[in-house]
Structure 1
Amino acid sequence: MKIAFLGTPDFALPSLKMLHERGDDVVVFTQPDKPVGRKAVMTPPPVKKAALEYGMKVYQFDKIKSEEGVAALKAEAPELMVTAAFGQILSRENLAVPKYGCINVHGSLLPKYRGAAPIQWAVINGEKITGVTTMLTDIGLDTGDILLKKETEIGENETAGELFDRLAEMGAELLKETIEALERGELKPIKQNEAEATKCGMIKKEYGHIDFSRGKDAVHNLVRGMNPWPCAYAMLEGEAVKIWKTRHSDAEPSRGEPGLILRADRFNGILVDCGDGVIEILELQFPGAKRMDAANAVLGHKMGFKVFE
């Protein structure tokens, strides 16, 4: 099948690989190269790199709904369009090109978590179950008819990055099932229930500031949801300390003083009061230093009974 694949980050790679292995005739549309790092080296998005390795034709537009973007789509004349974390809103003109429409792979169980960062927010909000959805794309934000869903449990200590990788693979499998059902004429689109719909915005760095008074669960979930980017942090004596990994602990009782470091030594780790319980910090990073485990962190930093803010 002639397919136009629209995707940008790592999340889209398993789906692109699946289409390549299926033997579909794939043309790729992705975001432009962007400057990365202190030297601002122009770097292609992951999907572009993979597509070129597969020998696929690649288009890059700032806006695919521009005249040039629409013209390129029409010139390629795909039978089907597939989107996976593309990062742009499609126009009616874009969606009118493929005769079978556009299938989107979304990292949540729609209609929950419509929007840009469903995986991170599901972890931050302490969800126990999430999954992937394939849907027919319309001009709204993840509002199209649902095709197939697949759910999975979120591990108690699973980070957003780990869940991201799992859902990317699940999304590719679900996309394959969806396309095969389309080819058999067995797809039955279902309208989304607007009463159950929730939205989620993009993640910003400032969202990572830990408020220990919110309780042990909220703190642990924020740390997991902000890993690997932008990473949760707390202020300690005027410095922003990144908190990479935590877990619940019953080694010390809460004193009802959120942010208080109850213990910090090589043998017992770093324990922080959260008001309703205690969190153990397993990995952290001081300004200008490398990420390290708690045992190494306490060697060069006296932390006992100081307060995270």
Structure 2
Amino acid sequence: MKIVFMGTPDFAVPSLQGLIDDGHEILAVYTQPDKPVGRKQVLTPPPVKALALEHGLPVYQPTKMRDGTVAAQLRELAPDLIAVVAYGRILPKEILEIPPYGCINVHGSLLPKYRGAGPIQWSVINGEAETGITTMYMGEGLDTGDILLVQRTPIGPEETAGELFDRLAPMGADCLKKTVRALEEKRITPVKQDEQKATYAPMLDKTMAELDFTRPAAELHNLIRGLNPWPVAYTHYGDKKLKVFAARVEQGSGEPGTVLDADRFVIACGEGALRFTEVQLEGSRRMSAEEFLRGKKIFVGRSLTAN
């Protein structure tokens, strides 16, 4: 099949590689523009672009999708199918109507739950026991198109969003490959989404990262997992920010935000307690809580809320 691929981050890389491995003709790859990265702001290509160039594929990096330029390019390319994986741009109707097999999207949730930009993180934050990959036809709405295939997987009780990303990326590639084969062989029946079950998963931002210890420990535990690796949950140690990469739920009660056990770094919450297991103090490196406590003194009753 002649395919145009649209994707940008690491999550999309296995999907592009999978289509290449299956022998499809990749006519072109569309991805986001190169961006400055790191302290030195080095202009860096997206991971999908890097893979495309390795395979000698034409790469397009448009800044606009609605001025007609991309639509004209695609009509000239004449793909059978457009495959979209975490591209980061909304496709207008004139593009969606170009390929005869349609535009299909790989989404990191069990649609119609968690439509939007942050499905993997919000599945963890909300304490879901299961998630997966959904392939669907793309429509003009946000992740509202008819479902093609679904693959499910449990979420581990201590699994972080980053770890789940790493598992779902190859699963997404496998689901995409199966979807394309099924479309070619005309053995797939699209299923409409149940709008009554739809939920939205917005993009994460740094404002949600500060730990509110009046909340139950179980909720904060899920938040910490869901915000790892970005933007990373945090609290305070004196006048410095203390990032919390991992924690465990413990029994205990006390004034929310205060230390209950200074030897094990247990903090009281609105319900139950949290034991920090991996932290990073502002200006220092990431380390185990045990290592942190060897260099820093805390005491029972100390508050970790902002001073």
TM category (shorter chain) comes to over 0.9
Determine the C-alpha separation between the residues in 2 that align with 1:225 and 1:155: 12
Name the residue aligned to 2:52: 51
Name the residue aligned to 1:174: 175
Name the residue aligned to 1:260: 258
1:67 CA drift (Å): 2.0
Name the residue aligned to 1:16: 16
5 Å-filtered alignment, 1:146-161, equals 146-161=147-162
Name the residue aligned to 2:291: 296
TM-score of the two chains, using structure 1 as the length reference: 0.95
Gap regions ≥5 residues in structure 2: none
Determine the C-alpha separation between the residues in 2 that align with 1:195 and 1:66: 35
Residues 7-53 of structure 1, C-alpha deviations (whole Å, 9 max, x = no match): 00011011111001011111200000011122211111110001111
In terms of mean alpha carbon deviation, does 118-127 or 34-43 score higher?
34-43
Name the residue aligned to 1:217: 218
Determine the C-alpha separation between the residues in 1 that align with 2:100 and 2:175: 21
Determine the C-alpha separation between the residues in 1 that align with 2:91 and 2:227: 28
Residues 75-134 of structure 1, C-alpha deviations (whole Å, 9 max, x = no match): 211110000000000001111111110110000000000000000011011111111100
Are 1:283 and 2:278 counterparts? yes
Determine the C-alpha separation between the residues in 2 that align with 1:264 and 1:295: 11
Secondary structure at 1:199's aligned position in 2?
coil
Aligned AA (1:13): V
Name the residue aligned to 2:119: 118
Secondary structure at 2:101's aligned position in 1?
coil
In terms of mean alpha carbon deviation, does 233-242 or 2-11 score higher?
233-242
Aligned residues between the structures: 303
Residues 242-293 of structure 1, C-alpha deviations (whole Å, 9 max, x = no match): 001111234xx323x111112233xxx2111113212111110111100011
5 Å-filtered alignment, 1:124-135, equals 124-135=125-136
Name the residue aligned to 1:2: 2
Alignment RMSD: 1.1
Aligned AA (1:121): W
1:236 CA drift (Å): 2.8
Secondary structure at 1:169's aligned position in 2?
helix
Name the residue aligned to 1:274: 269
Aligned AA (1:282): T
Determine the C-alpha separation between the residues in 2 that align with 1:198 and 1:85: 18
Are 1:90 and 2:91 counterparts? yes
Determine the C-alpha separation between the residues in 2 that align with 1:243 and 1:67: 46
In terms of mean alpha carbon deviation, does 221-230 or 167-176 score higher?
167-176
Runs of 4+ with >6 A deviation: none
Name the residue aligned to 1:308: 304
Name the residue aligned to 1:184: 185
In terms of mean alpha carbon deviation, does 274-283 or 146-155 score higher?
274-283
Aligned AA (2:294): L
Gap regions ≥5 residues in structure 1: none
Name the residue aligned to 1:100: 101
Aligned AA (1:307): S
Determine the C-alpha separation between the residues in 1 that align with 2:217 and 2:249: 7
1:220 CA drift (Å): 0.4
Determine the C-alpha separation between the residues in 2 that align with 1:57 and 1:187: 30
Determine the C-alpha separation between the residues in 2 that align with 1:63 and 1:217: 43
Secondary structure at 2:214's aligned position in 1?
helix
